Amino acid sequence: MAETTMDQALRYPLAAWNFRVTRGGTAMRFAKVSGLQREFHTLAYRDGLSFRQGESLVRYRVDTWGSLTLEQGTVADSRELLEWLETGEVSVLQVSLCDAHGHAVVTWKIARAVPVKLSASAWDAASNAVAIDTLEVKVAGIAIEHQTATGPTR
């Protein structure tokens, strides 16, 4: 029995090249996003019977500020990243993986994002490479939301 297109879309991994980054509801143009992670810490707990039963692992979540790297091509009249770096305001970011039609399928919602570093790529007169701006952002409060036909699920 052949699978339908919808069944295939639900079972196969998403393409990493089709993504969207939004800040405060405004889409921003980025060519690469890296460092997006949500982490849980563990603690080994030992009691008097640990020699027989083994130690217990306790998992807990601590919202720590992690680094997210956003890269985009340098454009002559684009000042959004520099202005965000200068103000240093805490913003809400969303990084969405999209399907072939451009609809968000999985969204990483970042509650607090603060830009800390903006750097330009190396310039070399002997190469024909595109100039890239790299923005480092400290982030905390990451939630992952999966979009379904009936609405978002967590």
Mean pLDDT lowest among 45-59, 79-93, 102-116: 45-59
CA dihedral 120, 97, 141, 150 (to 10 degrees): 160
Q: Which domains does the chain have, with CATH numbers?
A: 13-153 (2.30.110.20)
To 5 degrees, how large is the angle CA 47–CA 49–CA 55? 60
Is residue 33 pLDDT above 90, yes or no? yes
State the Cα–Cα distance between residues 144 and 109, nearest whole angstrom.
Answer: 6
Give SS3 for 94: strand
* pTM (predicted TM-score): 0.75
Residue 51 in 3-state DSSP?
A: helix
So what's the pLDDT on residue 80? 80
33 contacts 16 by C-beta, under 8 angstroms: no
